Structures are given as structure tokens and as C-alpha cells.
Amino acid sequence: MPARILAANPKPFAPVAIDPVTLDIIENALRNARIEMDATLVRTAMSPGIREQGDAFPLIADPEGRMIVGQFGSFIGGFLRAYEGTIEDGDMIFLSDPYSCEGAISHSNDWLVLLPVFRGGRLVAWTAMFGHQSDIGGKVAGSMPIDARSIFEEGVRIPPVKIYARGQYNGDLVRLVMHQTRKPDWCAADLNALIASCRVAARRVDEMCARFGDDIYVSATQALLERNHRAMKALIESSVGVDPVTFEDYICDDGVGYGPYKIRCSMRRDGSKVILDFTGTDPQSAASINFYLNENMFKMFFGIYMIMVFDPQIMFNDGFYDLIEVKIPEGSLLKPRYPAALSGRTHALGRIFDILGGLLGQRTPEFLCAAGFSSSPHLMYSGRDKAGDWFQLFQIGFGGIPGKPFGDGPDGHSLWPGFTNVPNEFLERYFPLRIERYEALADTGGAGRYRGGNGILMTYRFLAAGTVSIHDDRWFMYPWGVNGGKPGQRARKILEKADGTQTIVANKLDSLAVEDGDLLHFITWGGGGWGDPLDREADLVAKEIRQGLVTSAGALAYGVVADADGVLDMAATDVLRAKMRAEAAPPALFDRGGEIEDLRARCEAETGLPAPRPPVWTFAAAAE
């Protein structure tokens, strides 16, 4: 039974025609309220993941729960369908269990707060915010065990409950939840920050309603949804073909020795509607790399990608959802059956954007982007410092962004545009470590007319014994290049002991013991290149040698001859490029760096790690 909204005044809102000036004022006020939600959060949260990196996602929705402004799309519909309680004025909902909200949040570390906004007994809006908690209990510090076989191993799961009921705070609930975490101080502060951001947005909505009237405000939100619908309809009809196209990509491994795991999606247009079908995606993993993909969330991913590629001025919201149909097979990697583990879902989440690029670009290769939105590298470091106090770090790293039709991919940039790095000064002040190197690693971006962004080399020197956990991907499967561009380099991690001994370690591992003085060289993948590298300006390649982004050896992939100081030999370059053009095969639309079996054969020689074994399905496969 879905949630029941108990409104003292059930009178429907009267539709009102909105003049363009009023609509523009309300639209920009909503944009500012969404920004104020973020500002409130970072000023009141404590964990570096939220406070420094911004790993939190705001939302302001209409009375039906459709996102008007936000970042991740609306998760309210899934919650309302799954929640069996009532919603009243003064309530606030708190939850973290993906299975209780149709995957609206995708693992239990994400805590979600939902605030219904009432005026005069009528529900006029929703505000919401969710953010990643650094620890929620479970079998490992950080609460994201790679080898988890069920969600029960991943820490506390919070079903939809009222943290406020008719304005009364449920302190016992909060004490119970905080009793499960290794970092109750951070989690309590972060929860209060989520609550504060929702209240700030609710106050701004109330002010807009007071200024313009409830009916005008609600009518304006509907006008914004309708405007987005019209814009997306035009984009879909002009950019998506009626003939189906298919693309597939792979998660390298599951952290327990098996992989790669295929994600397959087909796309076609039927009239004004896009059908996106994940039939052919591999069955769910026995480990934690499953991603419970909410259909509405994927619709938002699709919409954001379309808007950013074709018309970045459009304000995205949920108005276009009826133009998209998403089919995800039950029991697949993207819709696992309860109680499958979900804590390592970030790799599939990142890979979805690469798949969208591969789908949307096939019909219009001039808009095709390479691969590079490939994962979200995590590092966890915990233990007791020399004073005996517990410390625990959760940090998100960045890889290379793909080359694109209009320029190079940024070096070492976040998958999420609103994320920032944790400043090294912050890390060194609050944790027993020192950052020895932090740089874009030359030649890791795929060569192309437009270069893929370089990955990052971040070297940590640990100053206290402890344990490290790593979550990363793109170490086995290359980030592919497009339109003749070359693949980016793969991720790798190297542990260097105090005596100089180096060991290549896995990109997914839990509880690696480290000692005082050990170094971890944390290297992320580079983005794929776009276009023929021989078409890149030779002077630009020479300049990038001087900047430390390309080496003189790496410049040969562009047919450029220059010394280590970036002094260009143009005559030799012309000769080399002519030779390379004469010997080149026709450019591939996608360059994956080799077929899977070829990569298996040469994996250990290239990566220092054994190749993942083909997955063995120990449960019913997803329906085809």
C-alpha cells in the first residue's frame, strides 16, 4: 500500500497562467535555493566526504515528488510507492535502505532525508538531500566490504522512518542508528546538516509562496516541467534514431577474482519516446558490485547527458520522464534480487555514463565522447594514531575525463561535476599521513586529436599503522578511445614498504595492513582519446611535454618528434607522420585496446595482477 498524504486542506491548486518574468524569477529563486542547500551542508557537515568533496545531492520537488531543481533526479516516487505510512505536516522522513525505495538511493551508506512542505494544510513541495556517510558499521571500516555476499554485511540499514513526526524529534531513533557506526560524531553532524539543508530549502519555498501565492508557485513548477518536456522532446526526435543501436561495456572484476561483468544497453526511438533496454546485461554478482539502478535515476542520467551534449542551457528536471521507457531485467547486475550486496555499486554507476556516450554517439559520431566516466576511486584508511585515538578516512579520487568532440578531457577530474578534492592540507592536518606526490600522470590520457585527460598519481605516506581499503576499476578493461582515438591507460596501485620493496596490489581490496612509513602510489585511469592523434597540432604536443602532461616518448603516439624539453623537430615529425599515415588501418569507431580474451592473455605481464576468471553464476540468470 503506497504512502498516504494526510493534508488538512485537500483543495487542489488552481492552474494559473504564468507570465515569463514571474516564471524567470521563480526559476532562478529555485536555482539559488538549491545552491543554498549545498552551502548549508558544507558549512555544517563534518565528514570530509561531504564537507570537502560534496558527496551529497539536493532536491526540490513539486507536490507529486517530481524534481524541479536538483542533481540526481527525483527519488520521491520510489519512496512514496514503497512507504506504507502516512505523511503529515511536521513530518520528516529518514532512510538508507535501497530495497525499501526502489533503489532511489543505491547503497546503505547514503542517508536520505525527505521533508514535505505544507502551507495552509496543503502539500506544496518536497525538499530532500542525501549524502554518503563515511561509516555505518558492518564488517570493515568504511562499511563497503568488497567480499560481502549480502546487504546484511554492509552496516545499518534504515527503512523509511519518521525522524520528526508532527514536529516531534525522534531522539531514540537517532541514538540507535549512531550506536552502529564507528564515527558517530561525523554521522550525527552530517545527519543534522542534511536536515538543515532541507529546512533551508523549505523556508525558501515558503517565502516564494508567500510572495506570489501558492497557486502561482505550484503553477510555475508545472510550467518548468512542461518547458523541459518540450525541449527534451525536440532533442530526442532530432538526436535519437528509430533503428536500434546497442552498446556494451564491462566492469573489470568483482574484487573476489571474477570478471569482467557485462552491462549491455540498446536504444531506439518509437515516435517521441526513447526505449532503453538493458536485456543482455550479466546476472547479479555474488559480491558487492551490484547496482540497484532506479529507472527514474537512469532517465535523469540520460536527460543530463542529452542536455550537456546538445543544449547545456536547458535546466534539467523531471518533466521529460514520460518520454523515456527503461527496461532492466530482474536478477541482473543492475536490478539484483534482495538481499544482494550493493556497497561497491560505484563502478557500475560510473560505467553507465560511458555506455550512454557509446549509445548516443553511434548515430552522430561527431558528438561521440570517449570513455572515462568509469568509476569513482575510493580510499579508506583507518586505525589508531600514536596517541591511541581512532582515525578513519574516506576519500574519493579522480580519473581522466574522456576526450570529446570539442576539446581535450580534463586531467584528474571528478565524474560528478559538483565534486571537489579533499585538500591535501586537510588530509595532513586531520589524519596521520603525508601526501608525497599529487599530480596528473603524463601519458595516461589516450592519444587523439583531442587528448583524453590524464589520470592522477597520488602518493600517500602513512604515519601510523592501520588498514587500507581500495575501490577502483578500469584496471583490466581499457577506457576506450573513439573516432581513431587511442584508449587511456589503466589504473594501478603500488604499495612501497619503507625498505623500498614495491608490490602491485589489487584495485579492489579490503583491510590491507600498512605500517608507519609505507607509501601507497594510487594511480587512476586516463580518459580515452578522440580522433586521429596524427591530426593533433604538433606545437601543442610539444607544449604539453614542457607542461609535464606528455613525455617525449609518449609524443610518438601523435607522430611528434621532440626532446625531453619539448623542443620540436618538425622535419622529423613530418616524416614520421607520413609513415604512420601510410601504415595505418582505417580508424576504428571504438578502440577498446583488445578483445577480452586477448586482455586475459596479456593481463599479468601488463598489470602485474592475475586476470579475472569468467564469472560463474550460482543463482538464476537474469531473464533475457
List pLDDT tens digits, range 358-392: 998 887 787 789 998 778 899 999 999 999 999 99
Question: Of 6-10, 264-268, 321-325, 480-484, which range is least confident?
Answer: 6-10
List pLDDT tens digits, range 395-426: 999 999 999 998 999 999 876 667 888 999 99
In the structure, what pLDDT confidence band is assigned to residue 620 with cuts at 50, 70 and 90? very low
Whether residue 339 has a cis bond before it, omega within 30° of 0? yes
How many angstroms separate the CA atoms of 283 and 262, rounded?
Answer: 9
Q: pLDDT at position 340, please?
A: 97
How many angstroms separate the CA atoms of 521 and 523, rounded?
Answer: 6
How many angstroms separate the CA atoms of 196 and 190, rounded?
Answer: 10
How many angstroms separate the CA atoms of 280 and 260, rounded?
Answer: 14
* Distance (Å) of CA 596 to CA 7, 263, 317, 389: 57, 14, 38, 46
Which has the higher per-residue pLDDT, 544 or 54? 544
Q: pLDDT at position 551, please?
A: 98
Q: What is the mean pLDDT of residues 533-538?
A: 98
Q: What percent of the chain has pLDDT over 90?
A: 81
pLDDT at 306 over 90: no
Could you give the dihedral angle defined by the CA atoms of residues 316, 318, 320 and 321, in that order, rounded to the nearest 10 degrees? 140
SS (H, E, C) 52-116: CCCCEEEEEECCCCCEEEECCCCCHHHHHHHCCCEECCCCEEEECCHHHCCCCCCCCCEEEEEEE
Q: pLDDT at position 3, please?
A: 79
Looking at residue 131, its amino acid is G
The overall average pLDDT reported for the chain is 93
Whether residue 260 has a cis bond before it, omega within 30° of 0? yes
Q: pLDDT at position 618, please?
A: 57
Instruction: Give the closest residue to 400 by CA, choosing from 448, 470, 367.
Output: 448
pLDDT at 624 over 60: no
Looking at residue 588, its amino acid is A
Note whether 280 and 248 are within 8 A (CB).
Answer: yes
pTM: predicted TM-score of the whole model, two decimal places: 0.94
Provide CB contacts within 8 A for 41, sequence distance 6+.
50, 54, 56, 58, 129, 131, 193, 194, 196, 197
Instruction: Give the closest residue to 272 by CA, choosing from 313, 316, 325.
Output: 325
Q: pLDDT at position 310, please?
A: 67
Q: pLDDT at position 76, please?
A: 87
Looking at residue 343, its amino acid is S
Instruction: Give the closest residue to 217 by CA, choosing from 33, 5, 71.
Output: 33
Note whether 220 and 31 are within 8 A (CB).
Answer: no
List pLDDT tens digits, range 79-127: 888 888 999 999 999 999 999 888 888 999 999 999 999 999 999 999 9
How many angstroms separate the CA atoms of 266 and 277, rounded?
Answer: 5
Quick check: helix, strand or coil at residue 421? Answer: coil
Cell 569468467 maps to which residue? Answer: 614
How many angstroms separate the CA atoms of 504 and 512, rounded?
Answer: 12
Instruction: Classify each residue of 110-123 as buried b or exposed e, where b means 16 or more C-beta atoms within 10 Å of its C-beta.
Output: bbbbbbbbbbeebb
- Local structure of residue 237 (DSSP, 8 states): H
Q: Can you name the residues that pair with 265 across neighbouring β-strands?
A: 247
Q: pLDDT at position 622, please?
A: 38
In the structure, what pLDDT confidence band is assigned to residue 312 with cuts at 50, 70 and 90? low
Q: pLDDT at position 623, please?
A: 36
- Local structure of residue 349 (DSSP, 8 states): H
pLDDT at 305 over 80: no
